[in-house]
Amino acid sequence: MQSKSADIREAINYMKTEVTELLGIEYPIIQGGMAWVAEYHLAAAVSEAGGLGIIGASSAPADWVREQVREAKKLTDKPFGVNIMLLNPNADEVAKVIVEEGVQVVTTGAGNPEKYMEMWKAAGVKVIPVVASVAQAVRMERCGADAVVCEGCEAGGHIGESTTMVLVPQVADAVSIPVIAAGGIADGRGVAAAFMLGAKAVQVGTHFVVTEESQVHENYKERILKAKDIDTKVTGRTTGHPVRALRNQMTREYLKKEAAGASFEELELMTLGGLRKAVVEGDVTTGSVMAGQSAGMVKEKMTCAQLIQKLNNEAEYLLKGTKIHE
């Protein structure tokens, strides 16, 4: 009879992929670099549990990012990364902090990281852009990306047009670097499905928001835990910057004004500071409660380690015997 420890070893070995090897992590699970949410407590807990934690730099100044990185290193000696929004006016300085502080992985969004690629590569940083189309993925591979995160429109926050189900296999067919699936993944079924579509790892956001180590306001966590399948809304489609969040007074008023033809400036004013208001202050009525469609699947709080084990073990059980990595 096989021992329990042997079963665990088998599960771990089975979930080894190109991404776990590339990043030096135990499980093919990456935590999304969510603005205001993904700070050092969460990132360090995810990495310490065997996944890849990400600190979300968003529009923060370089000194804040530097402090976050240093605090994370006090909590874990395992790899973690930083997500840079390239439209951030502080992006140049943050890009240098990545190198100066010895960050091993960077994920990028809202722009092209090509201008930083030489500096990051010289420092041994693994670069993983977030993409929402095949064309973006191909371009990122050409400029030297080590992998890409394919994020479908099921995700929370800023989204593209394609779903994870159709985006991942098309990108996997178009590039030779590893593909990481994101958007709508909250349990082992989603992980297994992503692997069958051609992904070598997954990025999870919404479920990590409600973990014990997450510093997000309890009101925000409760909104996710109580969410139903149809509780997210997408605002800002007419502006070219669609955002998915849980519906509340703010989304209702925004959508009403958007339908009435309100100007870009008026709509932007409605959401200014909205995410911070929800995450930090707990205002889930007029704040922006960004969450993916998977919120309806998130029903319990757990530690990052428990969540990662759950995702990994469920996926391993479902995939057993399919030989997907051969």
My answer on whether 284 and 301 are in the same domain is: no
Q: Please say whether the beta carbons of 122 and 96 come within 8 A.
A: no
Mean pLDDT of 64-92: 92
My answer on whether 307 and 258 are in the same domain is: no
Expressed in angstroms, the distance from the first to the final Cα of the chain is 27
Evaluate the CA torsion angle 91, 97, 98, 100 in order and state its sign. Answer: positive
Least confident of 165-169, 253-257, 268-272, 309-313: 268-272
- Assess whether pLDDT exceeds 70 at residue 13: no
My answer on whether 206 and 235 are in the same domain is: no
Q: Does residue 119 sit within a domain?
A: yes
- Assess whether pLDDT exceeds 60 at residue 325: no
Q: Does residue 88 sit within a domain?
A: yes
Beta bridge pairs of residue 179: 148
My answer on whether 209 and 274 are in the same domain is: no
pLDDT at 52: 97
For residue 252, give the nearest of 269, 266, 268, 235 by alpha carbon.
Answer: 235
My answer on whether 179 and 114 are in the same domain is: yes
Mean pLDDT of 3-31: 75
My answer on whether 208 and 154 are in the same domain is: yes
My answer on whether 265 and 303 are in the same domain is: no
Range of the domain at 255: 228-290
Q: Does residue 257 sit within a domain?
A: yes
- Assess whether pLDDT exceeds 80 at residue 304: yes
My answer on whether 251 and 143 are in the same domain is: no
- Assess whether pLDDT exceeds 90 at residue 290: yes
Could you list the beta-strand ranges (E) of the chain: 29-31, 53-58, 80-85, 105-109, 126-131, 148-151, 157-158, 179-182, 201-204, 232-235, 243-246
Q: What is the CATH number of the domain that holds 78?
A: 3.20.20.70
Mean pLDDT of 226-247: 92
* Number of domains making up the chain: 2
What order of strands is seen across the sheet that includes strand 157-158? 157-158, 243-246, 232-235
Please state, in angstroms and rounded to a whole number, the distance separating the CA atoms of residues 157 and 279. 13
My answer on whether 80 and 103 are in the same domain is: yes
Q: Does residue 47 sit within a domain?
A: yes
Q: Does residue 176 sit within a domain?
A: yes
Token pair recorded at residue 248? 């509340």
My answer on whether 282 and 189 are in the same domain is: no
- Assess whether pLDDT exceeds 90 at residue 229: yes
My answer on whether 43 and 178 are in the same domain is: yes
pLDDT at 9: 43
Mean pLDDT of 15-30: 94
Ramachandran category for residue 236: left, alpha or beta (phi over 0 → left; psi -120 to 50 → alpha): left
Strand pairing report for 29-31 and 201-204: parallel
- Assess whether pLDDT exceeds 70 at residue 243: yes
Q: Does residue 324 sit within a domain?
A: no
pTM above 0.75, yes or no: yes
The rounded mean pLDDT for the chain is 90
Binning pLDDT at 50, 70 and 90, where does residue 267 land? confident
What number of CA atoms fall less than 13 Å from residue 174's CA on the CB side? 19
Q: Does residue 326 sit within a domain?
A: no
- Assess whether pLDDT exceeds 50 at residue 119: yes
- Assess whether pLDDT exceeds 70 at residue 307: yes
Q: Does residue 79 sit within a domain?
A: yes
My answer on whether 149 and 252 are in the same domain is: no
Please state, in angstroms and rounded to a whole number, the distance separating the CA atoms of residues 53 and 43. 4
φ/ψ (deg, to 5) at 57? -75, -30
Give pLDDT tens digits for 147-161. Answer: 999 999 999 989 888
